């Protein structure tokens, strides 16, 4: 088959139709048969069909080895970042089976589909002439994002602004970044870099005995930023080898210009969600005025009972929420510390003593009025939950 844009688009649409049919019917009606047999065989079948029917694709060898090497480095960076993050948060047991049967099953169900999809991407993008490659890359990337985002779950969910924000940040954005990277490497190399990155990052998740109990926003950042940086670096290396490049074009594509800013943004977000030993908390009530006003941000240092004294302002855990009040007295009985606390603006001490198990940390400094956006988002979330519970 000669290079044919129309035939390529038809195949992409056929994949979209199969994926949507599987999402809304096969995965519900015949769940296990679909998961273990139908889906892997369908994708393998499409890959074999394209290898048999399409003409030979000519790889871009200029960057092939470099791009594969960069993909391995990115996988290593991905694993290291996850492991380092575990030093600041707790580790948990891996939910995937690590028995021999479990590993083989995961490889068959997931790895074969990954390999087939990336080979299909590569063959379809290179089944058109140069001027149409970017368009086809966009088409297939959009289809893959739709098929991988769990459309049925989104369609059946209660759509709220908070749900939309979480879905975009946690699912859609990482998928866009990865598909941008994979389509770009398919144009400038072949299918191997995408396979290396996707299989490498997933093998770590499948095989590691423990995984960090990372909040979803942390996972979303890692899954979005690393593919983006890898994409920018590959583009920069491509521009370096371009004989028609200009100095200005090369400088504009240099990822070193944005990597420091990206790292700072990531660290700031991780700080905000409490990954590090210190974390910010937005003050939502006036119980500690005039020390802490509504909208202030109190920076909390995680600590133990031995590290706090009378007069310190502490954060402690209650059922379903936390409180920031001042220690009025500290006592020890049978080796266990107990605190009596009070809000500076309250008339009486808190009704229940605080145990050392409830202690989270103490306030080390404050920032005036920086917490209003966080309070607004929290109130929005609470209101949405109330609406869901009341059926509004």
Averaged pLDDT for residues 149-161: 81
Provide DSSP, 332-378: EETTEEEEEEE-TT-SS--SSPEETTTEEEEEEEEETT--HHHHHHH
290 preceded by cis ω (within 30°)? yes
pLDDT of 11 higher than 70: yes
Q: What band does 270 get if pLDDT is binned at 50, 70 and 90?
A: low
Contact 157, 29 (CB under 8 A): no
Q: What gap in Å lies between CA 125 and CA 183, rounded to an integer? A: 8
pLDDT of 295-336, one tens digit each? 998 989 889 999 999 999 999 999 888 999 999 999 998 889
Cβ atoms of 30 and 38 within 8 Å: the answer is: yes
**Distance between CA atoms of residues 75 and 156, nearest Å:** 34
**Is the CB of residue 341 less than 8 Å from the CB of residue 354?**
yes
Q: Which residue has tokens 């009040």?
A: 325
pTM, two decimal places: 0.71
Is a pLDDT exceeding 50 seen at residue 386?
A: no
For residue 366, what are the β-bridge partners? Answer: 298
Confidence of residue 232 (pLDDT cuts 50, 70, 90): confident
**pLDDT category of residue 381 using cuts at 50, 70 and 90:** low
User: Which value, to the nearest 10 degrees, does the dihedral of the CA atoms of residues 383, 216, 300, 374 take?
Assistant: -30
For 233, residues 6+ apart whose C-beta sits below 8 A from its C-beta are: 70, 255
Alpha helices by DSSP H, listed for 189-258, are 192-207, 216-241, 247-252
- DSSP H or E run through 354: strand 354-355
pLDDT of residue 324: 95
Tokens of 171: 């699912």
Which candidate, 47, 25, 99, places its Cα nearest to that of 33?
25
Q: Mean pLDDT over residues 1-29, rounded?
A: 85
Q: Is the pLDDT of residue 119 over 70?
A: yes
- Average pLDDT on 43-59 reads 82
pLDDT band at 15 (very low <50, low <70, confident <90, very high): very high
Rounded-to-integer distance, Cα 33 and Cα 48, Å? 21
Task: Tell me the two tokens of residue 100.
Answer: 């021999």
CA distance 362 to 305: 10
Report the distance separating Cα 331 and Cα 317, nearest Å. Answer: 18
Identify which has the larger pLDDT, 15 or 388.
15
Average pLDDT score over residue span 92-107:
81
Helix (H) or strand (E) holding 265: helix 259-272
What are residue 308's DSSP bridge partners? Answer: none
Read off the tokens for 361: 């940390």
pLDDT of residue 124 exceeding 80? yes
**Run of H or E including 92:** strand 91-93
Helix (H, G, I), strand (E, B) or coil at 344: coil
With pLDDT > 70 as the criterion, what percentage of the chain qualifies? Answer: 82
Q: How far apart are CA 321 and CA 299, in angstroms?
A: 17
Q: Is a pLDDT exceeding 90 seen at residue 242? A: no
Measured from the Cβ of residue 151, the count of other Cβ atoms closer than 10 Å reads 15
DSSP H helices, 54-172, are 64-88, 100-106, 112-125, 133-148, 151-156, 161-167
User: What secondary structure does DSSP assign to 294-318, as a single string?
Assistant: TT-EEEEEE--GGG--TT-EEEEEE
Q: Is pLDDT above 80 for 98?
A: no
24-28, 63-67, 201-205: which has the highest mean pLDDT? 201-205
Read off the tokens for 220.
């979303």
Classify domain 278-390 at the CATH class level. Answer: mainly beta
Phi, psi of 380 (to 5 degrees): -65, -45
Q: Which residues contact 70 (CB under 8 A, 6 or more apart)?
A: 193, 230, 233, 234, 237
Q: Looking at residue 376, what is its pLDDT?
A: 74
Give CA–CA dist 191/187, Å, rounded: 9
What pLDDT is recorded for position 348?
Answer: 94
Q: Is the predicted pLDDT of residue 287 greater than 90, yes or no?
A: yes
Q: Is the pLDDT of residue 117 over 70?
A: yes
> Among 42-56, 63-77, 154-168, where is mean pLDDT lowest?
154-168
| pLDDT of res. 55 | 63
Nearest alpha carbon to residue 230 among 63, 111, 59: 63
Residue 94 pLDDT more than 80? no
Looking at the chain, which residues constitute the CATH 2.10.109.10 domain(s)? 278-390
Q: Compute the mean pLDDT over every residue in the chain, rounded to the nearest whole number.
A: 84
């Amino acid at each position: 088959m000669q290079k044919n844009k129309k035939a390529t688009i038809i195949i992409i649409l056929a994949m979209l139709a199969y994926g949507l049919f599987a999402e809304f019917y096969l995965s519900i009606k015949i769940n296990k048969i679909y998961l273990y047999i139908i889906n892997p065989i369908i994708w393998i079948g499409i890959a074999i069909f394209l290898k048999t029917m399409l003409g030979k694709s000519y790889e871009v060898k200029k960057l092939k080895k470099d791009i594969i090497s960069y993909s391995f480095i990115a996988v290593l960076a991905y694993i290291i970042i996850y492991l380092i993050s575990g030093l600041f948060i707790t580790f948990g047991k891996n939910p995937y089976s690590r028995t021999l049967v479990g590993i083989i099953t995961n490889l068959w169900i997931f790895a074969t589909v990954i390999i087939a999809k990336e080979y299909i991407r590569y063959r379809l993008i290179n089944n058109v002439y140069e001027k149409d490659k970017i368009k086809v890359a966009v088409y297939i990337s959009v289809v893959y994002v739709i098929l991988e985002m769990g459309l049925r779950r989104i369609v059946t969910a209660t759509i709220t602004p908070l749900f939309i924000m979480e879905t975009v940040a946690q699912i859609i954005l990482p998928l866009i970044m990865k598909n941008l990277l994979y389509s770009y490497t398919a144009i400038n190399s072949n299918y191997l870099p995408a396979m290396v990155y996707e299989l490498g990052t997933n093998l770590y998740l499948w095989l590691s005995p423990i995984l960090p109990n990372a909040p979803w926003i942390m996972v979303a950042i890692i899954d979005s930023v690393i593919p983006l940086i890898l994409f920018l670096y590959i583009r920069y290396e491509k521009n370096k080898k371009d004989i028609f490049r200009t100095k200005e074009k090369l400088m504009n594509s240099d990822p070193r210009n944005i990597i420091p800013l990206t790292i700072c943004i990531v660290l700031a977000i991780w700080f905000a969600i409490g990954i590090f030993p210190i974390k910010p908390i937005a003050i939502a009530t006036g119980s500690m005025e005039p020390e802490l006003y509504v909208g202030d941000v109190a920076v909390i240092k995680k600590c133990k009972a031995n590290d706090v004294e009378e007069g310190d302002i502490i954060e402690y855990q209650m059922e379903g929420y936390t409180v920031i009040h001042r220690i009025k007295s500290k006592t020890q009985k049978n080796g266990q510390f107990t605190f009596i606390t009070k809000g500076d603006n309250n008339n009486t001490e808190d009704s229940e003593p605080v145990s050392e198990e409830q202690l989270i940390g103490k306030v080390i400094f404050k920032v005036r009025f920086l917490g209003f956006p966080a309070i607004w988002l929290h109130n929005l979330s609470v209101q949405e939950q109330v609406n869901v519970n009341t059926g509004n």
